[in-house]
Every structure is written in structure tokens, then in C-alpha cells.
Amino acid sequence: MLKRIITFFIVTMLCASAAHSLEINYNFNHRTCFPQQWYRFPVSAETSPVQSRDIPKISGAIKKFLSKYPVRVVDENLHGIYIFGELRFFRKDFGGTFRPGKIYLRFNPARFGDWPALSVRQLHHEFSSVLMKNHRFPKSKWISNNKGNYVSRDKGRDMLGSLGRDEHNYLFKQGFLTSYGSADFENDVNIYAEYVFVFPGKLKRIGKRHPAVAKKSKIIKDFYCRIDRSFFFCQK
């Protein structure tokens, strides 16, 4: 079984390299993968390796995530994906985070109940932040369409501990898709990115009933289309 997993890992790496100039990392030095200040208080980064038995599942999720983007967008903006078994910052468990050109993702079904479909959402979530750092996002226009206020006082970290992906009509009316999306501006955009790529039909249905959601959906799609018009939702 271990031999099959190792073979799968090598083939996955080769396939990813053939399509993208992107490194997908499962085995790496956990003491040097972050900037040194991340290991010090208050960030206090703590990690563990992903289990080898989980590599095939998360590899499939990464492949599904990448399939939604033009190759040029990935090559120019994303250079590495790092997979962990545990990912802790500020003494809290994180599902993922990012740095310029890099995504750090936890995948641990045994301890946290992570599953591939959730990981696909988290990859879109974090990559939208990477893209916002590299390309101008119309923040003031986005916020002007909100019908409610952001609720987090700690960049969403105070809302960790639950998935925060619960949907309610009162959130839709305010222009938010989930409770975690109502945390702050960046998490709001991140959650919309999940829906644009994973739940486009649901996003359209919600937008038909809630104008604020429809307007923000158009803003984020326009953002992606300005980066590259090859996205499936851009007008040809």
C-alpha cells in the first residue's frame, strides 16, 4: 500500500509540473516553510505533516481546484501549495492561510473531519487572497453594496472554531453568503470566491432574490475577468 501511495505522489507531482510551474509539497521542512517571525509569539506557528494515506484524496482536490483557472493565472500568481496535517497560528487551528504566491492548507480527516470538497473550497478561498494582493480589487465599490456591517474584531480569527459556512436569509439580505463571510472584507471576498467556482448555480439563485448578492457577484467576477478573460464565467 505504501508503495502505491509513493507512486501516486510522484505521478501527481509530475502531472502538476507538466501543466503548471507549481510545486505541490507534502514532504518538506516544517521549521523553515514560513517566515521566521511566524514561529515567534504572537503568531506561534505549529504544524505537523499530512498523513501519507491522505495524500491521494487531497491531491484529487488540488487537481479539481486547478482545473477552474487558466494556466497563465496559476503560473503568474501561485508557485507553491503546502499540505499539513495540523496548522496552528495564534494558538488556534486553521484550515488554511496564504503568503504571496503560496497557499498553506490543512488536510486531516481523522482529527478535524476535513474532506476533499471542503479543501477545494478552501483552496479557492486562499487563492482569492493571493490574487487580491497581486491585482487591484475594488474594495470601496464592494463595501458600498453591503447592507450590514462586518462583525469581526480580529480579522476573522475570533470566528474560528466553527466552519462559519452557515447560510441564512438575513445574511443574504445584507450581502453576505455565510457567517464567516460577514467577518471582514477579505473573508467576505474569499467566501464569494468559493461560491463563484464551486456553487455558481446557487450563487445565481441567491442573487436573484437578493440584489446585494447579485451586485457583489458581478464585482468579483469582473475582478477575475480583468485578470484573464478565459474564466468560464467571462463573456466571450
Greatest CA separation for the chain: 55
Confidence of residue 236 (pLDDT cuts 50, 70, 90): low
Instruction: Give domain status of residue 236, yes or no.
Output: no
Residues in the chain: 236
Residue with cell 487572497: 129
Q: Domain ends where: 110, 134, 158?
A: 134
Note the pTM of the prediction, 2 decimals: 0.91
Q: Domain ends where: 104, 134, 164?
A: 134
Co-location of 165 and 125 in the same domain: no
Instruction: Give domain status of residue 93, yes or no.
Output: yes
Closest by Cα among 136, 79, 84 to 105: 84
Instruction: Give domain status of residue 194, yes or no.
Output: yes
Co-location of 60 and 160 in the same domain: no
Instruction: Give domain status of residue 100, yes or no.
Output: yes
Mean pLDDT for the chain overall: 91
Centroid of chain to Cα 53:
23
**Per-residue pLDDT tens digits for 125-177:** 999 999 999 999 999 999 999 999 999 988 888 887 655 688 999 999 999 99
Instruction: Give domain status of residue 235, yes or no.
Output: no
d(CA 106, CA 119): 8
Instruction: Give domain status of residue 49, yes or no.
Output: yes
- Positive/negative CA dihedral, 110, 115, 120, 122: negative
Judge contact between 11 and 58, C-beta under 8 A: no
Co-location of 117 and 30 in the same domain: yes
Co-location of 158 and 43 in the same domain: no
**Per-residue pLDDT tens digits for 56-75:** 999 999 999 999 999 999 99
Residue 16 confidence (pLDDT): 46
DSSP 8-state secondary structure symbol assigned to residue 181: G
Residue 32 confidence (pLDDT): 96
Co-location of 82 and 24 in the same domain: yes
Q: How many CB atoms sit inside 10 A of residue 2's CB?
A: 8
Return the H-helix or E-strand segment holding 126.
helix 116-134
Return the H-helix or E-strand segment holding 96.
strand 96-99
**Per-residue pLDDT tens digits for 77-110:** 999 999 999 999 999 999 999 999 999 999 999 9
Between 184 and 15, name the one with better pLDDT. Answer: 184
- At residue 152, φ and ψ (nearest 5 deg) are -85, 145
Residue 11 confidence (pLDDT): 36
Q: How many CB atoms sit inside 10 A of residue 1's CB?
A: 7
Instruction: Give domain status of residue 233, yes or no.
Output: no
Quick one: cell of 128? 482569492
Query: By residue range, what is the domain housing residue 173?
Result: 139-227
Q: Domain ends where: 106, 134, 162?
A: 134
Domains identified in the chain, total number: 2
Instruction: Give domain status of residue 232, yes or no.
Output: no
d(CA 209, CA 22): 40
Residue 154 confidence (pLDDT): 86
Whether 218 shows a pLDDT value over 60: the answer reads yes
**Per-residue pLDDT tens digits for 3-34:** 333 333 433 443 344 456 799 999 999 999 99
